[in-house]
Amino acid sequence: NAAPGILPSLLQCDFGNLQTEVERLVAAGTEVLHLDVMDGHFVPNLTYGMPIVEGLRRHTDLPLDVHLMISDPLAYAQPMVDAGADLLTFHIEAVDSAEHAARVAHSIREMGVGAGVAINPETSMDTLGDCLDEVDMVLVMSVQAGFGGQSFNPIALDRIRQLRQRYPELLIEIDGGINLETIGRARQAGCDLFVVGSAIFGQDDYSAAIASLGRAMVD
Ligand code: DX5
Ligand code: ZN
């Protein structure tokens, strides 16, 4: 596979042709889909919810990595799992404390799926406390959550380096402004999973775009 760890973000795809879009991504070597769920409250943007997740689930066996940019993650966790999510990532900014985050992660895992916690660039890493001991993945945002097409904030690289040192086994994902220039830097910092929106969906040929990203990652 030309694209280990590259997760296309279904935010800027053609939602009028979702099935075709997924087929094109699969043909390009995609192994996991990243779904951006926004509630118009936690972030000033609105995307989609369970019907799209459930519709995708009927058309693909790919794992669905669901990024919940919503104010009340637990209210929608079970419906998302029922719809077919395989991993649910909520934001540390959406809960009251690191202890609360650990409880939310525990509840998500009890639903039989993986739990991730995401952190925005402007949020202190201290807010995570010890909750990373209770999660399967940490999502280090390299843009403020809410919109595709923003430019990469390099604070994410320092964060990934620190996390990699402290948690050698933890799955680390990065999201926002990942392109041919930034993906290699994120890989070098110790990142495992790379969410990509514009750098794929802004191109006509997804296979070529993903293959170039795969090469840029290891160069
Ligand atoms: C931003 C979303 C991202 C976004 C990435 O809130 O979480 O997944 O789609 O898009 P690009 O790659 O364009 O920054
Ligand atoms: Zn995302």
Closest CA to 117 of 152, 159, 62: 159
Q: Is 143 in the pocket of ligand 1 (CB under 6 A)?
A: yes
Query: Which pLDDT score, from 0 to 100, does residue 4 have?
Result: 76
> Ligand 2 center to residue 36 CA distance, Å?
5
Confidence of residue 219 (pLDDT cuts 50, 70, 90): confident
Write the CB contacts of 43 (distance below 8 Å, at least 6 apart in sequence).
69, 145, 146
| Distance separating alpha carbons of residues 115 and 105, to the nearest angstrom | 5
> Ligand 2 center to residue 34 CA distance, Å?
6
The CATH number linked to 44 is 3.20.20.70
Instruction: Evaluate whether residue 198 is within a structural domain.
Output: yes
For the segment 137-154, the average pLDDT, to the nearest whole number, is: 98
Instruction: Evaluate whether residue 122 is within a structural domain.
Output: yes
- pLDDT tens-digit series, residues 43-98: 999 999 999 999 999 999 999 999 999 999 999 999 999 999 999 999 999 999 99
Looking at the 3D structure of the chain, how many domains does it have? 1
- pLDDT tens-digit series, residues 103-126: 999 999 999 999 999 999 999 999
Q: Is 150 in the pocket of ligand 1 (CB under 6 A)?
A: yes
Query: Which pLDDT score, from 0 to 100, does residue 27 have?
Result: 97
Our answer to whether residue 158 is catalytic in this structure is: no
Query: Which pLDDT score, from 0 to 100, does residue 68 have?
Result: 99
Instruction: Evaluate whether residue 151 is within a structural domain.
Output: yes
Q: Return mean pLDDT, the chain.
A: 97
Task: Tell me how far CA of residue 127 lies from CA of 59, 66, 100, 118, 130, in angstroms.
Answer: 38, 22, 11, 11, 9
Please check whether residue 88 is in contact with residue 118, taking contact to mean a CB–CB distance below 8 angstroms. no
- pLDDT tens-digit series, residues 158-167: 999 999 999 9
Confidence of residue 3 (pLDDT cuts 50, 70, 90): low
Residue 102 belongs to domain spanning: 6-218
Query: Which pLDDT score, from 0 to 100, does residue 89 have?
Result: 99
Query: Which pLDDT score, from 0 to 100, does residue 2 have?
Result: 62
Q: Helices (DSSP H) in the chain: which residue ranges?
A: 18-27, 50-59, 73-83, 98-110, 155-166, 183-189, 198-201, 206-218
Instruction: Evaluate whether residue 104 is within a structural domain.
Output: yes
pLDDT at 136 over 90: yes
ipTM: 0.98
Query: Which pLDDT score, from 0 to 100, does residue 1 have?
Result: 63
Instruction: Evaluate whether residue 1 is within a structural domain.
Output: no
